[in-house]
């Protein structure tokens, strides 16, 4: 019998340190994932379909822009946002991606840098899930170096004319609103493009092997006329998009723990019931060492995420700390998913089991929002003072 006083997915009892409100948030998202995501996600992945029908339910639980104050947003703390991401990604990284982009990459910058009119126009509808947002930073020639973006906006009278393209944009083809970052004569600025603006098109990227239950698109801008009132007035420079990435990477550091937990949970059941050489798979030393290693990795990821939440609440979070956590936790989750896939044997490549789906998703998650190398180099730069990018 396993030790009944320990939760194998929470060996250091993180949950016991949560407040009642934090537990309630975690439980309600967990219920939504169990009842509404898990029953359909395998098919969505196979069919390459984002389950858009879940958006009103995500909104009804207050999960869109959950940490923002006002405008119909829930105003939850940083830890709650982390727990939301963790529970959603236990279902699928694609669902967490949707919420990350809507909340951290589109609503957050409007809240932080938008005019009063922009906040009133967009945020309540986005919190209700009636308006979907996307975030266009990456370009086809190289996403790791956004300072070198080619998309350009020139001022014409009081308006702007935007030309260029963006690549790999989550929610792109279903978005009502695209926050597009473009170079201008004064530096990088954020432009709020609405669906249907002349010269603005989105093209779905089909045939992905990863994040198949998520929409990914390319965006094209051909002399798009953007009125002055659609430019974010509160920020100029790369720090605008990078500050949004800090919010979203924080959520990813939490989210991937959920994916890893889902894989380990399934493997624990499987290894207990599968019998080989006259004993259960779980009875073998080599298997136990691998299970213990997974639990160690999950526990370390949880402790990093928890301290990250405390630093965020305190307002002292440094982007380098977020880089280290995003790197560590994505690497841990991907290694766990791959190892679970292996320990399931042939069954590990079947759609009946979750690890291969999580593993394939995590190949994107370790790449987007800054690749593993980019985060390693950010930490290296902080340690040495030398910019090695
Ligand atoms: P660097 O010199 O480091 O910084 C330029 C300016 O930005 C400031 N800054 C920040 N400000 C606020 N918050 C942050 N987190 C900040 N990080 C940096 C910095 O102080 C500086 O300000 P100033 O006033 O001195 O100009 O810039 P760099 O050109 O050296 O680049 C650094 C590097 C490589 C780390 C950065 O370019 C980078 O992070 N590259 C990776 C790009 C990336 O992550 N793209 C993600 C695209 S979005 C996405 O993937 C969404 S997936 C969503 C989903 O589906 O879940
Ligand atoms: P590149 O920047 O071309 O990098 C290629 C390789 O070179 C990587 O391994 C990288 O680590 C390595 N490398 C780069 N620089 C160095 C260096 N100096 N030293 C050593 N190695 C280096 N972007 C958005 O703007 N919005 C979105 O919503 C969004 N959603 C995404 C969804 C998915 C499913 C995916 C896959 C990507 C998404 N992205 C999005 C883009 C993502 O952020 C980029 O893919 C990522 O930043 C890497 O950029 P790139 O693909 O152009 O690779």
Which residues lie across from 183 on neighbouring strands? 152, 188
Q: Which helix (H) or strand (E) holds 172?
A: none
CA distance 65 to 72: 9
Atom 22, ligand 1: residue with shortest CA distance: 239
Q: What is the pLDDT of residue 289?
A: 98
CA distance 17 to 300: 16
Residue 141 C-alpha to ligand 2 middle, in angstroms? 10
Pocket test for ligand 1, best of 107, 239, 259, 364 (most atoms within 8 A of CB): 239
Average pLDDT over residues 169-176: 98
Pocket test for ligand 2, best of 140, 331, 368 (most atoms within 8 A of CB): 368
Is residue 234 within 8 Å of residue 113, measured between CB atoms? yes
DSSP state of 34: I
Cβ neighbours of residue 262 under 8 Å, at least 6 residues apart?
90, 91, 354, 358
Domains in the chain, CATH or no CATH each:
14-127 (1.10.540.10), 133-230 (2.40.110.10), 239-384 (1.20.140.10)
Q: What is the pLDDT of residues 149-167, one digit of tens each?
A: 999 999 999 999 999 999 9
How does residue 72 score in pLDDT terms, banded at 50, 70 and 90?
A: very high
Is residue 92 within 8 Å of residue 361, measured between CB atoms? yes
Determine if ligand 2 sits within 6 Å of the CB of residue 367: yes
Q: Which atom of ligand 2 is closest in space to residue 371's alpha carbon?
A: 11
Q: What is the pLDDT of residues 237-289, one digit of tens each?
A: 999 999 999 999 999 999 999 999 999 999 999 999 999 999 999 999 999 99
Which numbered ligand comes closest to the C-alpha of 367?
2
Is residue 94 within 8 Å of residue 35, measured between CB atoms? no
Phi and psi (nearest 5°) for 311?
-65, -40
CA distance 271 to 343: 8
> What's the distance, Cα to Cα, between the start and end of the chain in Å?
51
């Amino acid at each position: 019998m396993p030790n009944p006083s320990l939760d194998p997915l929470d060996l250091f009892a993180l949950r016991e340190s949560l407040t009642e409100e934090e537990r309630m948030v975690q439980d309600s998202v967990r219920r939504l994932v169990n009842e509404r995501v898990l029953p359909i996600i395998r098919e969505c992945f196979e069919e390459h379909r984002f389950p858009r029908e879940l958006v009103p339910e995500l909104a009804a639980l207050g999960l869109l822009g959950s940490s923002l104050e006002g405008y119909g947003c829930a105003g939850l703390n940083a830890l709650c946002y982390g727990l939301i991401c963790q529970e959603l990604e236990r279902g699928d990284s694609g669902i967490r991606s949707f919420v990350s982009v809507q909340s951290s990459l589109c609503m957050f910058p409007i809240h932080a840098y938008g005019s009063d009119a922009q906040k009133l126009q967009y945020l309540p509808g986005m919190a209700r899930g009636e308006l979907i947002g996307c975030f266009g930073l990456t370009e086809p020639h190289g996403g790791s170096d956004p300072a070198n973006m080619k998309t350009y906006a020139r001022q014409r009278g009081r308006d702007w004319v935007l030309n260029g393209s963006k690549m790999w944009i989550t929610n792109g083809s279903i978005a009502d609103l695209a926050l597009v970052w473009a170079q201008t004569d004064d530096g990088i600025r954020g432009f709020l493009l609405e669906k249907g603006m002349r010269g603005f098109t989105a093209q779905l990227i089909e045939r992905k092997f990863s994040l198949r239950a998520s929409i990914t698109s390319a965006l094209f801008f051909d002399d798009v006329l953007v009125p002055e009132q659609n430019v974010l007035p509160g920020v100029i420079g790369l720090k605008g998009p990078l500050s949004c990435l800090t919010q979203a990477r924080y959520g990813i550091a939490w989210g991937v723990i959920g994916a890893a937990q889902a894989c380990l949970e399934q493997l624990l059941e499987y290894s207990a019931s599968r019998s080989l050489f006259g004993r259960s798979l779980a009875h073998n030393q080599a298997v136990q060492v691998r299970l213990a290693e997974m639990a160690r990795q999950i526990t370390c990821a949880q402790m990093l995420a928890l301290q990250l939440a405390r630093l965020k609440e305190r307002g002292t979070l440094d982007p380098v700390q977020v880089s280290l956590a995003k790197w560590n936790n994505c690497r841990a989750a991907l290694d766990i998913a791959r190892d679970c896939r292996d320990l399931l044997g042939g069954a590990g490549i079947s759609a009946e089991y979750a690890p291969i789906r999580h593993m394939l998703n995590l190949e994107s998650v370790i790449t987007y929002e800054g690749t593993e190398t980019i985060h390693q180099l950010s930490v290296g730069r902080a340690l040495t003072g030398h910019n090695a990018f």
